Amino acid sequence: MVCAVIEIVVLLALGVVLCWNKGVSSWVGNLAGVFDRAVVKDVDLSGIHSTNAVLMDAGSGKVISEVKGEDAIYPASMTKIMTAIVAIEALDSLEKEITLTDEMFAGLYEQNATQAGFQPGETVKAIDLLYGVMLPSGAECCIALADEVAGSEEAFVEKMNKKAERLGMKKTNFCDSTGLHDPDHYSSAYDIAVLLRYALHNSTFREIVQSARHSTPGTNVHPDGITYYSTLFKNLSDTTVTGGKILGGKTGYTSEAGHCLASFAEIEGREYILVTAGAAADATGIPHIQDCQTIYNRVGAAAAGE
């Protein structure tokens, strides 16, 4: 009798195990199918305004699609991604107060450099300068941070180039912290994608680049503070794309570089990085942002198997 009971229990246990294994196998298979559908293998980059483009899977760093991704470009203000991350990593405290001097503004007005709105003699926290670098693309913020970190812009640029070398940005050479045009200041869409992927691992950088606006506390020059806006988001009223949304990015423009943009988006649970460059300088509207929306929509469609 006891043996019969034991036999029945063993058979029942075996049945449960077999059913459970079958269920797990089915679940694992379904899960693998989900991931297979989510990984975009290739995305069409034709028909865009930009002459250069790289679409990268942010998790793996794998290039999904590219057009002249290794060719030389002028990165314009996409340069400021490197300026920001080098400063963030070098500063002991982001609450440190930095006073902007007349020398920091030398040449900026003459070159028609974009500024955040700070003035000579103004004392500003480092974190507010970092937002000023990334959102309104403030050149004076770049110079102030460079001087604070390295003693001069020239010494800071050496740090930028050393960081680029460590990241494997083989087609990159920086001559300034702002992205103002210099024939010897160049990069590639691929290198900028590598840079953005690295910078996004820093929580401070990620928080800044995802912000649409930032208001500073009062200063000795602006008692009510300054509010500035992202050059990306002020031209991107709707961040939604097929299967996800655009999370942030850094625009750039000079007459030599044309319109360019380094951005990232989350689509179907995965993050993607897109760098476009070389959209015609005389193009009307916002061709770099239009390209961004077009390509991310294609990513979403591909992820959905359309």
CA distances from 226 to 36, 118, 147, 222 (A): 47, 8, 22, 7
C-alpha 67/C-alpha 43 separation (Å) is: 11
Contacts of 75 (CB under 8 A, 6+ apart): 172, 179, 185, 186, 187, 192, 252, 257, 260, 277
3-state secondary structure of 229: strand
Of 103, 99, 135, which Cα lies nearest the Cα of 118? Answer: 99
C-alpha 124/C-alpha 138 separation (Å) is: 13
Strand partners, 277: 52
CA distances from 204 to 72, 85, 130, 136, 232 (A): 29, 9, 10, 17, 18
CA distances from 126 to 153, 163, 217 (A): 16, 20, 12
CA dihedral angle for residue 114, residue 118, residue 82, residue 214, rounded to 10 degrees: -100
CA distances from 151 to 13, 31, 159, 218, 262 (A): 73, 53, 12, 26, 28
- Indicate which residues carry an active-site annotation: 77, 80, 137
Phi-psi label, residue 74: left if phi above 0, alpha if psi -120 to 50, beta otherwise:
beta
